[in-house]
């Protein structure tokens, strides 16, 4: 969904329309807002597939998703015992999980940011070590 369209539907504020979404913390790719079949929303990188947790259509939840995606305060990531670096968005513990289709992914236990099954999920997640 285009941000302009989300604004016209009253889903995001004028401020969010103006500031938009920053590029992906992991690969630098373009991020987009997607509406899913169950009418929830996610922000997803079009390059590496890193995705936010689901959000309802409520404006407050979408604002929280934008704040999470655009957050840039994590400066150093720590390596966990499982070989995964901490989350590039919130610094939370990353863990291997399975999605509803029983495919393995990496998910942050803090903010819910996660990979999609695209290639090497460990390399995709850990690539975000190159923080600005």
Percent of the chain beyond pLDDT 90?
2
Can you tell me which residue has the tokens 């939370």?
A: 92
Query: What sign has the CA pseudo-torsion 59, 7, 70, 85?
Result: positive
- 12-50: burial string, b at 16+ Cβ within 10 Å, e else: beeebeeeebeebbbbebebebeeeeeeebbbbbebbbb
Supply the mean pLDDT for the chain.
78
Q: How much is the pLDDT for 95?
A: 92
pLDDT per residue as tens digits for the range 20-65: 888 888 888 888 888 777 777 888 888 888 888 766 555 567 788 8
* Local confidence band at 130 (pLDDT 50, 70, 90 cut-offs): very low
Structurally, the chain folds into a number of domains equal to 1
pLDDT at position 131 over 50: no
Q: Tell me the C-alpha distance between 100 and 92, whole Å.
A: 22
Q: Which domain holds residue 59?
A: 3-129
């Amino acid at each position: 969904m285009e941000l302009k369209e989300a604004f016209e539907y009253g889903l995001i504020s004028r401020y969010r329309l103006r500031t938009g979404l920053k590029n992906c913390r992991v690969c630098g790719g373009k991020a987009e807002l997607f509406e899913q079949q169950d009418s929830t929303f996610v922000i997803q990188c079009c390059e590496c597939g890193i995705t936010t947790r689901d959000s309802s259509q409520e404006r407050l939840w979408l604002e929280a998703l934008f704040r999470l995606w655009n957050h840039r305060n994590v400066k150093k990531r720590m390596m966990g015992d499982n070989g995964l670096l901490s989350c590039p968005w919130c610094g939370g513990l990353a863990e291997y999980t399975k999605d509803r289709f029983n495919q393995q992914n990496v998910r942050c236990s803090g903010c819910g940011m996660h990979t999609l099954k695209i290639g090497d999920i460990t390399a995709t997640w850990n690539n975000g070590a190159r923080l600005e």
